[in-house]
Structure 1
Amino acid sequence: MTFKHILEMWKETNIPFDEIILTEEMVETGMDPVIIKNNMKRLVEVMITEAEKNYGKKHESLTGLTGNNASKLINHNPKILGEFNYVATITALSTAENNASMGRIVACPTAGSCGVVPAILFALKKVHNAKMEDIVSSFIISGAIGNIIAKKSTISGAAGGCQAEIGTAAAMASAALTYYFSKDAEKCGHAASLALKSLMGLVCDPVGGFVEIPCVKRNASAANVAITTAEMALAGIESVIPFDEVVDAMYRVGKMMHEDLRETGNGGIATTPTAQKLVEDIKKRWK
C-alpha cells in the first residue's frame, strides 16, 4: 500500500477515505472491514480509558527517572498553550509515564511513542466532545499512515532511530487530527508529511536504555508537532515533497545513522556525564 494509491482511489470515488482504507486492508489481508473497524475501535477505547484514568497522575517508573511530569503540568496554569494543546500535552506525558511504570498502553506505533496518538484522540473527546465513531474514523487514517511507514520504511528505533518511532507517531496523529476536521485525504497526506519531515533525523538515545529519558517528554513535544502540522494542512499549507517520498527519505536517513544513535543507549544524550551518573546510581540501588 502506498499513500499515492489510496489517495487516487479517494479522488476517483465519492467513498469516505476511512472506508477506502478498510477496503484496501481487506484486499491485502482478506479480513472483513467490519472486523478491522471493530478492532480499531477496541484500541481507541483502551487509549481513551487509560488516558482518562491516568490524566495528570503521578507514576512510579522502573528507575525513578520520570513519573511526575504530567502531575506538574496539570497543576500549572498554562501561560502559552491553548486548551487543546494543554490537554494533549498532559495526556501524552501521562500515557508515556504510565508506560514507564509498566501500565497498560497501546503501542501506537511503539511503546516508546505511545503517548502521541492518544493525546490527540483524547483531546478531541475532552475539548471538542468528539463522538466515538468520528474518533475511530480518524484513527483508521492514522493506522494507514503507520502501516505505510512500517511497510516502506520502519517504525523501529533500533532500525531507524527515534524518527521512526516518535516521527511516525506524530505523522499518524497529525493525519488523524486533519481528517477529523476536514475529511480531506489530500490534506491528511500533507499533514503527515509535514510532521514526519519536522522530526526527520531524530536519534534514539534512551538514558540507560530505559524508555524514560528523553522518551516521555518527546511524546509531549511530538503531540504539539502533530497539532501544529495539522493546523497548517487544514489552512491549505502543503508539503512540497509527497508523503511516500518523505517516508523513503526517512528510511535512507535511518540507514545512515550510526548504530550508537539507534536505541543502544551508547550515543546522544545517553552518553552525557549526567546521564552516565544517573545510570551508575541506578545500578548501585539495584545491587
Structure 2
Amino acid sequence: MSLLFKDFKSWKAYCEEEKLPLYEAVIQYEQNQRGAGRKEILEGMVAAYEVMRQAIHTGLTEDMTSVSKMINNGAKKVFNHPVAVLSPDFQKMIARALAAKEVNSCMGRVVAAPTAGASGILPGVFYTLQETHELPDEKIAEAMLIAAGVALIIEQKASLAGAVGGCQAETGSAAAMASAGIVYALGGDNDQVFNAVAVTIQCMLGLVCDPVAGLVEVPCVVRNASAASIAFSSAQIALSGMDAVIPVDECIDAMHEVGQSMESRYKETALGGMAATITGQAIAKRVLIQDIEMLSDEEDVE
C-alpha cells in the first residue's frame, strides 16, 4: 500500500521503514492513484521536463510580447546582458526562469508546477542544476518526483492557489519544491531535503498575490526569477547542515495560517498591492479598453 501524503513526518517515516528513497514513495502513490506502471511514471516525468526545457528555449529565442505589452522579451535581455551580477550560471538561471514564465504569459505551452503562475521556477532551477552538475535526465526526473511529493503535502496542509493563500502558495510552494529537488539531486539526506523546504517557506511566507490588471504577468514573472534564487539559497543552507529550527510541517502550518488571515485583496483579486498602485490602475484601465475594442472588432467581423 502506498503512502497517502499528509505530512512530511509520515513521508520520512514511511521511507525509512520501507528503506526507500523519497521519490519511490511518490511513484507508489502515482501507481495507486492512476494505475500507471513505474516505467510510465518516470517517462512521464522526463517528458514533462522536456516541455520545461522547450519553454525555456521558446522564451529565449522567440518573440515574447504579451497582449497587454507588460511582458516584452525580458528574459532575452537578462540572458544576453554582458554583465553578470554574480556568475554566468546565476544569470542563466534567472533568465531561464523568466523565459519559461514569459511563455506562459504569452499563451504558450508550459508545465504548471504547481501552477501556471509559478511555471518558470522548476524549469529555471532544474535546467541550470543539470547543466552545472552534468546530471542525467533520470536524476532530474527523480528530483521532480520529490518536488511533486512536496506539492502534495502543501496542498493537503495549506494551498497551492494564489486565490486561497496568496503568492506564497504559488511561487513559494514552487520554490520549496525546487529546493527539495536540488538537495536530493546533490546527495542530501531526507532531513536536508525537508530542511530546504522549511527554509524556503520561511523566506517566502506572507507573499501576496497582486496581479496588475488581473493578468499573471506583473509582478508574477519577476517573482519566478526571485523564487528560483531562493530555492538555490535554501538548498545551499540545507546541504551545509544548517538547521531551519522550525520543523517543516510546522512551517507549512504557518503558511496555512498566514494564508487564511490574508485579506482578500491580496489573494489574486487585483485589488491590492502592485495592482492598486496608480500605474497598476492605469494599466488595468488600458487593458480593459483594449479588450472592449477587440470584442467590438470581432462583432463587426461577424
Q: TM-score range by the shorter chain?
A: over 0.9
The 2-side partners of 1:50 and 1:273 are apart by 33
The 2-side partners of 1:46 and 1:60 are apart by 20
In the TM superposition, residue 126 of structure 1 has moved relative to its aligned partner by 2.8
The 2-side partners of 1:26 and 1:239 are apart by 33
TM-score (norm 1): 0.94
In the TM superposition, residue 57 of structure 1 has moved relative to its aligned partner by 4.9
8 Å CA contact 1:110–1:155 kept in 2: the answer is yes
1:173 aligns with 2:183: no
> Which segments of structure 1 move beyond 4 Å, counting only runs of 4 or more?
27-31
**How is 1:1-287 mapped onto 2 (pairs within 5 angstroms)?**
1=5, 2-27=7-32, 31-55=36-60, 57-286=62-291, 287=293
User: In the alignment, residue 117 of structure 2 is paired with which amino acid?
Assistant: G
TM-score (norm 2): 0.89
The 2-side partners of 1:188 and 1:166 are apart by 18
In the TM superposition, residue 284 of structure 1 has moved relative to its aligned partner by 3.4
The 1-side partners of 2:129 and 2:60 are apart by 14
The 1-side partners of 2:286 and 2:28 are apart by 53
Percent identity over the alignment?
36
8 Å CA contact 1:209–1:265 kept in 2: the answer is yes
- SS at 1:212's partner residue? coil
- Can you list the C-alpha shifts for 1:248-281, whole angstroms capped at 9, x where unaligned? 1111111101111100000111000011112222
Unaligned segments of structure 2, at least 5 residues: 294-302
Unaligned segments of structure 1, at least 5 residues: none
- Can you list the C-alpha shifts for 1:151-180, whole angstroms capped at 9, x where unaligned? 221101001111000100000011011111
The 2-side partners of 1:160 and 1:102 are apart by 24
User: In the alignment, residue 66 of structure 1 is paired with which amino acid?
Assistant: I
User: In the alignment, residue 152 of structure 2 is paired with which amino acid?
Assistant: N
In the TM superposition, residue 31 of structure 1 has moved relative to its aligned partner by 4.4
In the TM superposition, residue 68 of structure 1 has moved relative to its aligned partner by 1.9
The 1-side partners of 2:240 and 2:285 are apart by 49
The 1-side partners of 2:173 and 2:70 are apart by 25
8 Å CA contact 2:89–2:132 kept in 1: the answer is yes
8 Å CA contact 1:83–1:127 kept in 2: the answer is no
- Can you list the C-alpha shifts for 1:174-218, whole angstroms capped at 9, x where unaligned? 101111101422111000111111111000000010000000000
Per the alignment, do residues 5 and 26 of structure 1 end up closer, same or farther by CA in structure 2, a change over 3 Å counting? farther
The 2-side partners of 1:48 and 1:156 are apart by 24
User: In the alignment, residue 208 of structure 1 is paired with which amino acid?
Assistant: A
In the TM superposition, residue 50 of structure 1 has moved relative to its aligned partner by 2.1
- SS at 2:270's partner residue? coil
- SS at 1:55's partner residue? helix
The 1-side partners of 2:244 and 2:117 are apart by 27
The 2-side partners of 1:125 and 1:54 are apart by 19
Q: How many pairs align? A: 287
